[in-house]
Amino acid sequence: MRPTTWLVTAVLCCLASACRPDPEPAQDAARPTPSTTGFAYAEAGIADLQAAMARGETSSHALVQAYLARIIELDRNGPRLNAIISLNPRARADAAALDAERAAGRVRGPLHGIPVLLKDNIDATPMATTAGSLALAELRPAHDAFLVARLREAGAVVLGKANLSEWANFRSSRSLSGWSSIGGQTRNPYALDRSPCGSSSGTAVAVAANMTAVGIGTETDGSILCPAAVNGVVGLKPTVGLVSRNGIVPIAPSQDTAGPMARSVEDAAILLAAIAGRDPADPATADNSVLASFDYAQQLRGASLRGVRIGLLRDRLSISPEAATATERAVAAMRDAGAVVVDARIPTQDQWRDDEREVLLSEFKPALEQYLRQRQAPVQSLRALIDYNRAHASQVMPLFGQDLFEQADARTGLASPDYISARTRARRLAGPEGIDAALEAQQLDVLVAPTTGVAWPVDPAQGDHFPGSGYGAAAVAGYPALTVPMGHSDGLPLGLTFIGPAWSEARLLRIGHAYEQLTRARHPPGFAAGSPQSIAPGNAR
């Protein structure tokens, strides 16, 4: 049975009716009609859409209408990607108001009128924030997340909420990437029987399939980079503290962050500039050494690889033969463009793994319970969530359990000496003694590695068959990492990860942009049919 839900279907049906072209707005008269094989705004970047609006060829209202119709075509009909959980009922009105501002001579910036999709663990009124869980189906926070407020101030239109791995892949040690009890199984648009990875699955799929202009994901360890790579898009995990986590369902404050997902490095840079900034409600942003108004896109001009010193983490090539072959081609292209590429290694590679696990398990309960209490959620403790899942096991746990929830609930708190030691040791091993040491050993500008292997078949019986990654050190250190498409294997995308020290986003984006322009490896998905196994669908409220 194809994974879907009557809730999502009903919402999309209602919006299909609500989003029929209006006869009155002249600028919407030629609104494109999407299909699974063609779309008028396919692969259009932010600059393309802004230029079209500036020329009067389209409007924000028309863009929203077109993307909503595209979502209906691909999520409810066609390949049924299951990328979307809910749509913003105010999106059309917000877009019309921004069009009126443009007509009056006010353009807020490059995001003015641009549709943006959010992962559904980010607060955005008037929509629910579910984290993919039935337990939070009725949670409607009263305020936007800090980053969402910044997006709206920049003129972006919040299009809706994307499906995700339930609880950002932190409910079970064998969870199925892209599956949630609200949204069902998100499907990879390159091959429908392959995993979209997670946990920002829906955001990555929607961006890849041109269901939105750009999107926002979140990451604790790989939840932006992995789905971006296997769905053929750009994903940036910023330095922890560059983007506020206020208003985001947490896993662990030591590693949590939100970041942009886009079809180009330039669009990711524009999006990052909008969401970065200090927030009094998130103490981590007090250490932010980058001005909130930093123009990352401006830094891309004239980007070149000539003279850039790049360290290849060769031990990460063992992820898969396909990843190794594509990475060697990428290295050859960068050398031909004037980069100096040498073999490098992180001397402490993977020595932090046990400590990272302790940090995540120890931080999850207090961080989550604070989020739930502040929003007067239907359940306000981890124990209550565990009990809810047990009571609704047939709907919530048809495929995997909640062993991580139970382990986290047994932790003794943030004052535990074991936790404090693990947190300090993990950050040191991955950061100063890991990434920093590797960069300093050979005076490198950046480290590179394959992001992960190709997308694996969705296997509801056994869970994910994750091949490994090249980004783990950046996640644990709280340092930035950028994945850029680097090619395909049998039609499945592969990504190349660029890793730098703390607060080096501008450098990573500049180098990643130069590589992207050199190779232009991204190709849009073809929605290849597969033979997906039966996957438990999402559920109604």
Q: Same domain, yes or no, for 343 and 269? A: no
Q: Amino acid letter at 96? A: A
List, for residues 368-422, the tens digit of each pLDDT value.
999 999 999 999 999 999 999 999 999 999 999 999 999 999 999 999 999 999 9
Band (pLDDT 50/70/90 cuts) for residue 534 is: low
For the record, the structure tokens of 196 come out as 């979209």
pLDDT in tens, 464-491: 999 999 999 999 999 999 999 999 999 9
213 and 337 co-located in one domain: no
Q: Is the pLDDT of residue 291 over 80?
A: no
Distance between CA atoms of residues 226 and 254, nearest Å: 20
Please say which residue of 419, 438, 469 terminates a domain: 419
Mark whether 86 is an active-site residue: no
What is the DSSP code (8-state) at residue 240?
B
What is the structure's pLDDT at 37? 53
For the chain, give the mean pLDDT. Answer: 92
The answer to whether residues 88 and 158 belong to one domain is yes
**What CA–CA distances, in Å, run from 327 to 63, 153, 233, 448?**
36, 39, 16, 9
> Could you read off the pLDDT of 143-170 as tens digits, one per residue?
999 999 999 999 999 999 999 999 999 9
Q: Active-site residue 173, yes or no? A: no
Is residue 528 situated within a structural domain?
no
Number of neighbouring beta carbons within 10 Å of residue 325: 15
Q: Calculate mean pLDDT across residues 293-309.
A: 93
Number of Cβ atoms within 10 Å of the Cβ of 360: 24
> Do residues 253 and 119 both lie within one domain?
yes
- Do the Cβ atoms of 460 and 532 come closer than 8 Å? no
The reply to whether 440 falls in a domain is yes
The amino acid sitting at 277 is: G
Residue 137 has pLDDT above 60, yes or no: yes
Task: Examine the residue annotation and report whether 237 is marked as an active-site residue of this protein.
Answer: no
Task: Out of 165, 195, 199, 264, pick the active-site residue.
Answer: 199
| Inter-residue contact 116 to 213 (CB < 8 Å) | yes
Using alpha carbons only, give the angle 340, 342, 347 rounded to the nearest 5 degrees: 140
Same-domain status, 184 and 149: yes
Q: Are residues 44 and 192 in the same domain?
A: yes
Catalytic residue among 59, 60, 86, 119: 119
Q: What's the maximum distance between 2 C-alpha atoms anywhere in the chain?
A: 66
pLDDT band at residue 289, thresholds of 50, 70 and 90? low
Same domain, 345 and 368: no
344 and 359 housed in the same domain? no
Strands (E), 255-296: 257-262
- Residues 355 and 422 sit within 8 Å (Cβ to Cβ): yes
Which amino acid type is present at position 363? E
pLDDT, residue 297, reads 96
Look-up: residue for tokens 């936007």?
144
Contact residues for 254 (Cβ-Cβ < 8 A; gap 6+): 240, 359, 363, 423, 426, 427, 478
Are 237 and 295 in the same domain? yes
pLDDT tens figures, 512-526: 999 999 999 999 999
The DSSP secondary-structure symbol of 443 reads: T
344 and 389 fall within a common domain: no
Number of domains observed in the structure of the chain: 3
Indicate left, alpha or beta for 57 from its phi (over 0: left) and psi (-120 to 50: alpha): alpha
Q: 402 lies in a domain? A: yes
Beta bridge partners of 216: 118, 260
What confidence score (pLDDT) does residue 541 get? 32
Q: Do 437 and 369 sit in the same domain of this protein?
A: no
Pair 426, 472: CB distance under 8 Å: no
Among residues 181, 195, 223, 504, the one annotated as catalytic is 223
Shortest CA distance to 511 belongs to which of 360, 272, 320, 296?
296
The 10 Å Cβ neighbour count of residue 138 is 11
Contact 498, 448 (CB under 8 A): yes
On whether residue 530 sits in a domain, the answer given is no
Pick from 453, 221, 485, 202: nearest CA to 333: 485
Q: What is residue 343's three-state secondary structure?
A: strand
Phi, psi of 222 (to 5 degrees): 95, -5
Asked if the model's pLDDT at residue 38 lies above 50, the reply is: yes
* DSSP label at residue 496: E
**Predicted confidence band of residue 452 (pLDDT cuts 50, 70, 90):** very high
Q: How far apart are CA 227 and CA 200, in angstroms?
A: 6
In-domain check, residue 539? no
Report yes or no on 526 lying in a domain: no
Computed on alpha carbons and rounded to an integer, the radius of gyration of the chain in Å comes to 22
Give the model's pLDDT for residue 286.
Answer: 86
**E strand or H helix at 487:** strand 481-489
**In-domain check, residue 243:** yes
Angle of CA points 530, 531, 535, to nearest 5°? 115
Q: What's the domain range around 247? A: 6-300
Asked whether residue 383 falls in the same domain as residue 289, the answer is no
Q: Inter-axis angle of helices 353-374 and 417-430, to 10 degrees?
A: 120
Give the model's pLDDT for residue 290: 64
In a domain, 537, yes or no: no
> C-alpha distances in angstroms, 267 versus 74, 365, 513?
23, 35, 10
At 262, give phi and psi (nearest 5°).
-155, 175
Q: Which helix (H) or strand (E) holds 7?
A: helix 6-18
| Burial (CB count <10 Å: 0-12, 13-18, 19+), residue 20 | exposed
Give the residues across from 495 on adjacent strands.
485
Q: Are strands 234-237 and 257-262 parallel, antiparallel or unpaired?
A: antiparallel
Residue 10 has pLDDT above 70, yes or no: no
Nearest to 426 by CA among 350, 368, 497, 316: 350
